[in-house]
């Protein structure tokens, strides 16, 4: 009896092992390619959008970081030069620093001697150009963050249409492979679209925060410069 029990246990183990050997894992590449031609086209579009979003993010991030760097003594040196009438030295210092703040101050220095309102207007106009330069292509990230989920949803609709078409034309004999392709298209494109959209949204908002800090820095230094010009001699 013990022999029979051990034999049954061994057979059960073999069956269990056979069952485990039948299990199939699904890699990311297989998941993408399982969606058929329509799914792969949608995934390719989303992948291109992800590359574009990544490039814009890092290119703008480095540009904004470079724009935010300025010597803490820059404004003190500018005020000293202006107070001592060394306008050329102040202009040379601005050219050496070559940052958004220094370019605004340089624009104001070129207007010294004119009414304070004219100087302020010149600085504001230069500031708009600097902000436009900082925000270059950032709006593309916002577009990608909004468009990617919709493109993924388009893949979902296409996948469901393919599945319904297969069921409607099966004649009672549904091709599981074609039906599965439609469902894979629906699911994989939705997930991919959401991933790209979330990445684009986070990247866009991070750049907006970084840009706002530089804009605040520009405004603070411009006001400090104008206040210095308005001080009584």
Sequence-distant (6+) residues with CB within 8 A of 204 are 138, 141, 142, 145
CA angle 34, 26, 154 (to 5 degrees): 40
pLDDT recorded at residue 112:
87
**pLDDT tens, residue by residue, 154-189:** 888 877 777 777 667 766 666 666 666 667 777 888
Query: For residue 6, is pLDDT > 50?
Result: no
State the DSSP H helix or E strand holding residue 152, giving kind and residue range, or none if neither: helix 138-168
At 35 the pLDDT is 55
Distances (CA, A) of 170 to 34, 156, 175: 20, 21, 7
pTM: 0.76
For residue 9, pLDDT beyond 60: no
Task: Report the pLDDT value the prediction gives residue 165, as an integer from 0 to 100.
Answer: 72
pLDDT per position as a tens digit, 67-126: 888 888 888 899 898 888 888 988 999 888 888 999 999 999 988 888 888 889 999 999
Least confidently predicted of 35-44, 59-68, 173-182: 173-182
Comparing 204 with 25, the larger pLDDT belongs to 204
């Amino acid at each position: 009896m013990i022999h029979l029990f051990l034999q049954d246990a061994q057979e059960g183990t073999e069956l269990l092992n056979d069952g485990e050997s039948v299990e199939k894992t699904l890699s990311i590449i297989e998941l993408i390619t399982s969606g058929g031609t329509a799914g792969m086209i949608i995934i390719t579009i989303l992948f291109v959008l992800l590359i574009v979003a990544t490039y814009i993010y890092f290119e703008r991030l480095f540009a904004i970081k470079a724009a935010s760097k300025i010597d803490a003594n820059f404004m003190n040196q500018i005020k000293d030069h202006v107070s001592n009438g060394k306008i050329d030295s102040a202009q040379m210092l601005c050219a050496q620093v070559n940052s958004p703040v220094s370019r605004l101050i340089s624009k104001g220095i070129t207007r010294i001697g004119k009414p304070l309102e004219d100087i302020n207007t010149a600085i504001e106009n230069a500031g708009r150009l600097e902000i436009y330069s900082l925000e270059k292509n950032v709006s593309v990230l916002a577009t990608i963050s909004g468009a990617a989920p919709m493109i993924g949803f388009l893949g979902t609709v296409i996948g469901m249409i393919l599945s319904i078409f297969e069921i409607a034309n099966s004649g009672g004999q549904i091709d599981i492979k074609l039906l599965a392709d439609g469902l894979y298209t629906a699911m994989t494109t939705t997930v991919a679209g959401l991933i790209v959209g979330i990445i684009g949204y986070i990247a866009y908002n991070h750049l907006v925060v970084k840009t706002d800090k530089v804009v605040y820095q520009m405004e603070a230094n411009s006001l400090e410069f104008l206040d210095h010009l308005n001080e009584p001699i």
